[in-house]
Structure 1
Amino acid sequence: MEASPLSARPWRHRRVWLAPDLGAAELAGLGDAADAQAVVDWARAGRPFIGRTTLPGDDPGRLPLGLALPPQPRKRRLSFTVAPAAVRLVSAPPALGDALAHLPPRLREPAALLESRAFALGLPVYVFGSAFWQQASGLDYLTEQSDLDLLACPPTAATARDWLQALAEVQADSATRLDGEIQLPDGAGVAWRELAAAPAQLLLKSDHGPALRERAAVWAAWGTVSAPC
């Protein structure tokens, strides 16, 4: 295990595997028995879930997780919590380089360009959203029309600015919409498009929910100790 489940921070976007003998009675927050069974079946198949933001009503002693089921026959996004003892493994999200082979051709070209730019910058970049689920499960989530969600963890403000430039350049030459976040050293994430637009305040997402932060404070965050991505 990468870390104790309760100490793994940031928790958002983490891959989380649950014990294969997980029972429906160990799950909290699901609406009906069919949803609980879908989670149990996913765990038994050895597939990971995703760490999510804590929501109002979540038990503080339990871990918040999400599962997006394949969009066919219908899209279902499930949110639930488990006790820490139900967690078997916690890992970083899938690396962009590892996800390339799972992407449709239209997404693969800009993704490969960005993976090359990230490698040159020494920048860890991961996938989330539909690319996360497709790489994690081997099932079909992505189409030629899908967006590509990327999570970058710049070690310095200069690297963050270089990554923003790389994203803008690749986006300008691609029909694929490039979305995603840049993770700050404290673990909070900011949408790269919002950071590039440079408003006075930025919306940050963290393990504990959304919050506004002044732009200058966001850029100053790289002077603090870095959290793992």
Structure 2
Amino acid sequence: MLLVRTAVLGGGALRCRPVGCRSAASYVQGQSPDPRIREYFYYVDHQGQLFLDDTKVKNFVTCFKDKQFLVFFFSRLRSNQSGRYEKDFPFLSMCGRERNFLRCDDRPMVFTHLLQSSGGPRGLGGDQELLSFCGGGEKLAVPFRPEALYMHPTSGRVYHPCLERVGGVGLVRSALAIELSPFFVYPPETSQSGQPSHFLWGGEKHTLTNELAAFFPVAEEGSEERQLE
């Protein structure tokens, strides 16, 4: 992993203020708090792009694009319970003696593509359809459950269940959410600005479970609305 970063690591002490966090963390990329231990700091945006946290201009040019690296990084990602940077970098990917801390714009897992795992026309449902996250293709994916899609009532962002080790919820990136949006069905008495009740997929009308609503406390809705302004 160190070789992948060599060309883009900067030096010097840094202070960063993670999006949505109330405090800042001081760090040096590649710092060694203990013998033979190295620490690096990353950020994933709401499009699922991974960056070194201190990258000044974050776009497609500066994000990590090597699939092998992305699979390696995200397959090891867990909740940060290391006792270091837990508030500002809530997630941690361990690589031997390397600690890779991660913060995110919204959720650490961002679904970027809807894939077919074993052929068949799109929309048939079942385990043939996968939601892939963070640039990893089929190696970073979960089965697509159309009934479990959840549209946040305040932000309008769309979410889908993800791995429990990173919080159980993944964000659907905006491009994919727009692609899926025509299949949401709204109650007759509400407009499309309200909460959808069903999702049309594979010739079926799926009743939305809204099971992910429990992950978004009412207090968070007001906070999220302020962030989007």
- TM-score, normalized by length of structure 1? 0.32
Which structure dedicates a bigger proportion of its chain to strand? Answer: 2
Mark the structure with the bigger radius of gyration.
2
- TM-score, normalized by length of structure 2? 0.32
Q: Return the structure number with greater relative CO, CA threshold 8 A, min gap 6.
A: 1
Which structure dedicates a bigger proportion of its chain to helix? Answer: 1
